[in-house]
Structure 1
Amino acid sequence: MLSKSLQKATQDYRFQIASYAILTFYGYFTIGLSLAVLPIFIHETLGFNTIIAGAVIGSQYIMTFFMRAYAGTIVDKKGPKPAIIISMICFILTGILLWAAFSNSSSPLLALSLLAVSRLLTGCGEGMVGASPINWAILRVGEQHTSTAISYNGIFNYSSMAIGAPLGVLISLHLGNWSIALLTTLVGLIGLITTINKKALYAMSKEVRNSFFSVLKSVAPFGTGLALAGIGFGTISTFITLYYNYKGWENAAICITCFSTMFVLGRFVLTGSINKIGGVKIALYSMLIESVGLLLISFAPTPFVTIIGAAITGLGFSMVFPALGVEAVKSASSANKGAALGAYGLFIDISLGISGPLVGLVAKQFGMNYIFPFSLILVLSGVVVCIFLQKSKRNS
């Protein structure tokens, strides 16, 4: 009887977490829809080079960077609900601007400008929704379930892109790019209605709130490891379609799907290992696995081997965010949890923001064959950071 009662309680808190993480799904589904389409549209339809394509896509993450701090402040002072409402409004506006950009493809500069603004709005939406559902879930089920909340949020995040990326390519081919814009707007609207109908929750801590930059400093060691690990994902998400075109291969979106599928599988299977083994150790092992995947992609002779490499990369990257995230949240007081998650999330935004133009520069200067070896070196640097973090933890 006790066992059944415990099992029911476990299912209940997981269901509660999932009911908030679905908001992440709505947000990142809209991002995933255009993920595999926009680089080709900018490079081939509009005629701009890979650096500009990477910079426009990467501008989303720069805006996300700036919005994370604001989102963390809103969450700690007013709760997560207002932040998510703002994010869904941004996704709705993104869809409208995408439609305008696709409709003006005969005027490349105008279309590119509209896309640039849409990416900034997408970044704003991502920054506001990024950690907010996690905080909302933690307020509902308790801090003891932080690792599960972070993991579930990532599951909904990357499963949304696993579905969204190939779906975006499919409807673009059969219906036209306008269909991506319409679906983006509709999903943002669904997310907005869902958020409005959920009960607002607030942190009741009486502890003093530290400045955001003080919180940022405390999570920076963990965020640095996350940022380096994120370069692998940034390279795949931004350049895999151009890489496939360079190789003369087809169906690049399958790589994103396999990456995201293995990412989700890793989160389901390995979430409990963080509390058992430790966040830093799990992150270190995860980056080593991610490195193996990038090594395979770097020297893959066929699309099939590239897909396997992308899947292994996704499995490796899957646990980096929650593993280091749990350690980052531990470094903050209860009055600064929202700011801590927001500050920690900044580092993945930095990673994804610079990976576009940086890897684009590598492609332009040395060739497309060098982009994944370059990413591999940076992820291995993340392994070194984790080794230092582990040593520091032992000495403390």
Structure 2
Amino acid sequence: MGKESEYSLRRTRVEIAGFVFLTFLGYLIIGLSLAVLPVFIHQTLGYNTIVAGGVISLQYVMTFLVRGYSGSIVDRKGPKPAVLQGMGTFALSGLLLALASMFTGNGFICLVLIAITRLVTGFAEGMIGASPVNWAMLKVGEKHTATAISFNGIASYGALAIGAPLGVVLQKWIGLSGLGGLIVLISAVGFVISMRKTAIKGDRKSQRHSFLKVLQKVSPYGICLALGGIGFGTISTFITLYFEYLHWENGALSLTVFGVVFILCRVFFSGMIDKYGGLWVSTISLAFEAAGLLILWLAKDPVWAMAGAGVTGLGFSLVFPALGVEAVKLASPSNKGSALAGYALFIDVSLGVTGPLIGAVASQFGMLNIFLFSMLLVFSGLIICYSIQMRTRVPEAA
């Protein structure tokens, strides 16, 4: 019986991986241009860093706006149409990127086309972000929600980690137009794979609620996620600047340490969510994340700073899936897609405000205090998460 159960679990994981591979392809596309375009806008087109940053941020604004629409599509028609729309729109972004490369001599037209490309990419990300994982959840059952969300996170973060440096290397060899062509090719592969998969729809017999009502339900868990995301956002945005400020070397290696520990924790410890519950795991995870940021703030040498980044990655790794499991439980079967999309909105907001917020802290209170500030926000998320856990225990005990 044990062997049968083990085989069943392994088969379930393989099925989940087959769906979240579509997430991997989507975020690989996003990663290919992520590190290339800011440099291209600043150095090749000659615009300042504010313009470059603003154009890049258009993607996240569009993703934020599309999340609700994506969740509605998943709930009404199933995840397959949303994934197909996402892959088709990614292909369009590749064509626009290739077109933009033809107007390098006219900086304004090129910039406008790149801005449109970012908006189109943001739409595609909004459609692909929570759709494959919903597809996987419908296929393998709600009891495997934690595994599905964990695998989806590994796929997205892993794809970005591969895509960003790969895009920089490829752009030197094939140029921006070649990168656009590669994006079209990867999108076509994702589209074909999606077409070959069986369409699945959720339970539409149960009562459906508006996206705003679902968003209100999941918001306590989303707020905890957003506060936890500040720690990740601070490291990903400011760790290299922090190392330069202290005249330390290998600041980028801290990101690698964070990413490696993050993925390993997802691989080996995601089962704890099913065993101990999402609220307990997220409370412990936020405690580890806060401890990692504290180590970073107190670090007197780069080795300790990297250790702090690793502990932060260990802590943040399970926050999204652990809280996500609890958030999805609150929704009716016909609102699961909207619940996951609404919950994911909070990490979009978190990562969107981290840059200006922590930048303001650095200018007002000094670069040395950015990780202390982040730690306090993560700790406040821990307090909220613990209070939710205590409130839910009372009815259970009764």
Is the shorter-chain TM-score for this pair beyond 0.5, marking a shared fold? yes
CA 1:317/1:52 → structure 2, altered by over 3 Å: closer, same or farther?
A: farther
CA 1:388/1:111 → structure 2, altered by over 3 Å: closer, same or farther?
A: farther
TM-score normalised per structure 1: 0.88
Letter paired with 2:143 = Q
Quick check: 2:76–2:204 contact (8 Å CA) kept in 1? no
Q: Report what 1:337 is aligned to.
A: 336
Q: Report what 1:160 is aligned to.
A: 159
Distance in 2 separating the partners of 1:92 and 1:284: 40
Quick check: 1:169–1:253 contact (8 Å CA) kept in 2? no
Distance in 2 separating the partners of 1:250 and 1:120: 36
Distance in 1 separating the partners of 2:251 and 2:108: 27
**Structure 1 segments unaligned to the other structure (5+ residues):** none
What's the secondary structure of 1:34's corresponding residue? helix
CA 1:252/1:86 → structure 2, altered by over 3 Å: closer, same or farther?
A: farther
What's the secondary structure of 1:31's corresponding residue? helix
CA 1:338/1:30 → structure 2, altered by over 3 Å: closer, same or farther?
A: same
Quick check: 1:84–1:129 contact (8 Å CA) kept in 2? yes
Letter paired with 1:342 = A
Quick check: 1:262–1:314 contact (8 Å CA) kept in 2? yes
Match runs of 1:182-193 below 5 Å:
182-193=181-192
Distance in 1 separating the partners of 2:369 and 2:331: 39
Q: Report what 1:23 is aligned to.
A: 22
Quick check: 2:286–2:379 contact (8 Å CA) kept in 1? yes
Deviations 1:66-88 (A, max 9, x none): 11111111111100001011111
Distance in 1 separating the partners of 2:289 and 2:123: 28
Q: Report what 2:131 is aligned to.
A: 132
Quick check: 1:216–1:343 contact (8 Å CA) kept in 2? yes
Q: Tell whether 2:147 aligns with 1:113.
A: no
Letter paired with 1:287 = L
Distance in 2 separating the partners of 1:45 and 1:297: 36
Letter paired with 1:229 = G
Q: Report what 1:271 is aligned to.
A: 270
Deviations 1:263-320 (A, max 9, x none): 2211111111112222112112212222233344446566655544433322221101
Q: Report what 1:143 is aligned to.
A: 142
What's the secondary structure of 1:199's corresponding residue? coil
Distance in 1 separating the partners of 2:387 and 2:251: 36
CA 1:261/1:90 → structure 2, altered by over 3 Å: closer, same or farther?
A: farther
Letter paired with 2:339 = A
Q: Report what 1:283 is aligned to.
A: 282
Match runs of 1:251-330 below 5 Å:
254-298=253-297, 305-330=304-329
**Structure 2 segments unaligned to the other structure (5+ residues):** none
Residue 205 of structure 1 and its aligned partner are, at CA, apart by 3.7
Quick check: 2:25–2:186 contact (8 Å CA) kept in 1? yes
Deviations 1:340-382 (A, max 9, x none): 1111111111112222343444456666555444433322221
Residue 36 of structure 1 and its aligned partner are, at CA, apart by 3.5
Residue 31 of structure 1 and its aligned partner are, at CA, apart by 1.8
Distance in 1 separating the partners of 2:21 and 2:250: 28
CA 1:54/1:364 → structure 2, altered by over 3 Å: closer, same or farther?
A: farther
Quick check: 1:67–1:124 contact (8 Å CA) kept in 2? yes
Match runs of 1:1-396 below 5 Å:
2-43=1-42, 46=45, 51-101=50-100, 104=103, 108-172=107-171, 176-240=175-239, 254-298=253-297, 305-362=304-361, 369=368, 371-396=370-395
CA 1:196/1:13 → structure 2, altered by over 3 Å: closer, same or farther?
A: same
Distance in 1 separating the partners of 2:337 and 2:146: 15
CA 1:23/1:70 → structure 2, altered by over 3 Å: closer, same or farther?
A: same
CA 1:204/1:390 → structure 2, altered by over 3 Å: closer, same or farther?
A: closer
Residue 120 of structure 1 and its aligned partner are, at CA, apart by 1.9
Quick check: 1:135–1:338 contact (8 Å CA) kept in 2? yes
Distance in 2 separating the partners of 1:61 and 1:361: 20
Greater gyration radius: 2
Q: Answer with 121-130 or 183-192: which moved more.
A: 183-192
Residue 14 of structure 1 and its aligned partner are, at CA, apart by 1.1
Quick check: 1:61–1:352 contact (8 Å CA) kept in 2? no
Distance in 1 separating the partners of 2:304 and 2:81: 44
What's the secondary structure of 2:202's corresponding residue? coil
Q: Answer with 260-269 or 76-85: which moved more.
A: 260-269
Residue 17 of structure 1 and its aligned partner are, at CA, apart by 0.9
Quick check: 1:172–1:180 contact (8 Å CA) kept in 2? yes
Residue 92 of structure 1 and its aligned partner are, at CA, apart by 1.9
RMSD between aligned alpha carbons? 2.9
CA 1:252/1:54 → structure 2, altered by over 3 Å: closer, same or farther?
A: farther
Quick check: 1:60–1:353 contact (8 Å CA) kept in 2? no
Distance in 2 separating the partners of 1:369 and 1:180: 38
